[in-house]
Structure formats: C-alpha cells, structure tokens
Amino acid sequence: MKEEEINYHSLSVSGVLKKLDSDKEGLSNEEAESRLLKYGRNELSENKKLGPLIIFLRQFNSFFVYILILAAIISFFVGHVVDFYVIVIVVIINTFIGFYQEYKAERAIDALKKIIVQYAKVYRNGVLEKIPAAELVPGDILFLEEGDRIPADARIVEMKNFSAIESSLTGESVPSVKNISVLKEDITLADRKNMVWMSTFVATGIAKAVVVATGDETAIGAIARDIKEIKTEKSHFQKKTDKLAMQMGIIAIAGSLLIFIIGFFFRGFKFSEILIFTIASLVAAIPEGLPAILIIVLAVGAFRMSKRKAIIRNLPASETLAVVNTIITDKTGTLTQNTMTVQKILLPGEKEIVVKGNGWEPRGEIFK
C-alpha cells in the first residue's frame, strides 16, 4: 500500500514511534495481523510469471520460424507433402528444445527462492520472537545484532556500537557507523546515519529499530521498480539471427522471382509448370535445419554452463556472453556482496582445518 513519504530520519525517536503508533515493546499480534492486511507482505513485487503455454508459444517468435512456417504452408498447398512434414518436425523440435531449457531455468530459479527463507527478530507483545521477514509491518520493533541481514527499512531507537554495511545501496564497502540523532531533512540516503535499510547487513554492535517501510516502499524496492521500467532489448544473438533470416529470405524470394521471370517470359514455360518450380526453389532455398542447429548449439552451451553452476534462463544469453570483451566493476563488494566466508584454516603443526558455513550466518562446523 502506498503511503505518503515521511522523512523519519528528521524526527526524534519518540516522534517516530508516535507517528507509527508503536512503542519500544513492539506491536501486539492482533495489531500486526491488521497492519499486514493493510500494508501487504514485506516482499518485493515481481513481474507476472509466464505460464508454460506462454513460454511455449514464445519460442515461435523468431523471423526464422516465420519463414519456415510460410515455407511449410506453401509446400502443403503445392503438394510437396514431404517438405511440409520435414519443416513442421524441425519447427517442433526447435520449439521444444527452447521451451524445455527456459522452463527448466524458471523452475530452478523458483526452487532457489524457496530455499532462501529470511527471518527477523522482532518484539511482539513485549516478547522477542523470530518470525518470517515477509510478515514484518511498519511499527514493528526489530532487534538487530552483528551478522544479521536487515529485513526492512527502519529508524534506530536504541543502539550500542552499531554499524552496518550498506554497499548494496550506496556502493560503499566501509561499514556505516550509526547513531540515533535527529538529522536534517534534505540529506542523501547514505548520510541518514539513524536509519537502516532492507538488504544491508549489520557489521558490529546491537540495536533496536522501528520498521518504517516494507516491501516495495523500501529504498531497495524503489530501485527494483526502476529496474522493471528498463525496456528489454534483443540480444546480440537475436539481432544477428534476425538479420541473417531477413537476408536469406530476401535472397530466396528475389531468386525465385528471377527464376519465374526467366522461365515464363524468356523460356516460354507454362504458367503452372514454372509456378510449381518457382515455389519449389523458394522452399529449397530456406535452410529449415538451421534453426534446429542453432538451438541445439545454444542448448549445449547452456548445459555446459549449468555444470559450472550458472543458470541460463534464455538460451541466447549463452551466446551473448561470447561477445563480452570487458567486465567493468567498481570494487569487490559489487561481486562478493561483502559476505566473505572462511573455508580453510592453516595452523603451525596442525593439519588443514575445514570450516563449513555461509556468509554472515553465525552457524557452521569445523572439521580437522
């Protein structure tokens, strides 16, 4: 639910709590349920998912396929049944390979989302509880400690030696030291030292913070909305194949017309005979096996990348990577998300010690 924008960083702690009709003991379960219905779940909205039928039909959206379908129709009406069935089989194989790869990638991405279930420590009825982060609402009081991923935008109300890593929003990998002072209204997000932001991490200390925004209303949610508005352009591979298909189509049509003109006007063939020969030459000039070859090559590339733990949602993406000359990044935080993990420990006179664990989560095992 869209709320008017309020500069919570410019309000005192008591002012923020009053504005959100909350206190340091947290909300009651009944009030939290009521606000969840009002504000919605604390999740970033996603684009509408495409169903299997749409994904299947989208495989036909190719200039190559259009030419093949046209060739199949012409072959059928002129009695070239063998050519008709060959082209239809090629189109079907091409479509099913593309559909299988894209649908499998979508399912893999959905499976990854189900695995990642984020929790938040929150005060409800004055008691500290651990709840799914998606159930947070404005007015909830969060308890944050070192290593926690911050689950919503919040105003700090109490803290001790508290700092957060906000590289996902500001690009700055150095932890931002926090305070609870009242700040000016017209300052940038990075300078709002009394606030914490969804998707960032606690670097040091502990704090209590009151949730001021959830889901799409968070700072990271605004970025997600801007990203969705970016128009998707055709990949390098799609542009090249469309251009090739158009060139081949023009050459095939021009060649067939030339054959018809020479045969009918200069060689004196009967109209019915030269028409059949012209159509046959048009069909023969279109390489119906090319789309299948291209899709198989791309599928092999996607399969090889999946062996390296890289999920390819659209097959042409595997070819597009081949034309990348330079990858430009500003700092390691862009790539690592500042979640470095100890994997092995070497001690003098000791065998190699293997450490298990993941990122900022304070859980793991040590094997000697």
Report the relative pairing of strands 201-213 and 195-196 from DSSP bridges.
unpaired
Distance between CA 159 and CA 153 in Å, rounded? 16
Least confident of 83-92, 132-141, 156-165, 201-210: 83-92
> C-alpha dihedral over 176, 177, 180, 183, to 10 degrees?
-60
Please report, rounded to a whole number, the percentage of residues in the chain having pLDDT higher than 90. Answer: 24
Q: Which amino acid is at 275?
A: L
Residue of 101, 113, 106, 111 lying closest to 319 (CA atoms): 101
| β-strands 127-132, 119-124 pairing | antiparallel
Report the pLDDT averaged over residues 331-346: 66
214-270 pLDDT, tens digit each: 988 888 888 877 776 767 677 777 777 778 878 887 888 888 889 889 988 888 888
pLDDT of 3 > 80? The answer is: no
According to CATH, where is 2.70.150.10 located in the chain? 10-42+136-227
Q: Which amino acid is at 185?
A: E
Which residues have a catalytic role annotated? 330
Q: Rounded to whole angstroms, how far apart are CA atoms 95 and 72? A: 15
Lowest-pLDDT range, 69-78, 154-163, 284-293? 284-293
Give the model's pLDDT for residue 37.
93
More confident residue, 210 or 171: 210
> Which position has the higher pLDDT, 197 or 244?
197
Q: What's the pLDDT score for residue 111?
A: 61
Residue 85 in this model has a pLDDT that exceeds 70: yes
Q: What integer best gives the mean pLDDT of the chain?
A: 80
Mind listing the pLDDT tens digit for each residue in 254-288?
A: 888 898 899 888 888 888 788 778 877 777 777 76
| Separation CA 68–CA 286 (nearest Å) | 7
CATH 1.20.1110.10 residue spans of the chain: 52-112+232-323
The matching CATH number, chosen from 3.30.930.10, 4.10.910.10, 1.10.3720.10, 1.20.1110.10, for 52-112+232-323 is 1.20.1110.10
* Beta-ladder partners of 300: none
Looking at the domain 10-42+136-227, which fold is it? 2.70.150
Q: What whole-number distance in Å separates Cα of residue 77 and Cα of residue 154?
A: 68
Give the per-residue pLDDT at 2.
45
Q: Which residue has the higher pLDDT, 225 or 114?
A: 225
Residue 36 burial by Cβ neighbours in a 10 Å radius (0-12, 13-18, 19+)? middle
Q: How far apart are alpha carbons 165 and 211 in whole angstroms?
A: 18
Q: For residue 28, give both structure tokens.
A: 């009651």
Q: Find the Cα–Cα–Cα–Cα dihedral 53, 57, 58, 63, rounded to 10°.
A: 180
8-state DSSP, 266: I
Q: What is the pLDDT of residue 199?
A: 84
φ and ψ at residue 35, rounded to 5 degrees: -70, -30
Angle at 270 between CA 267 and CA 272, to 5 degrees: 135
The type of residue at 262 is I
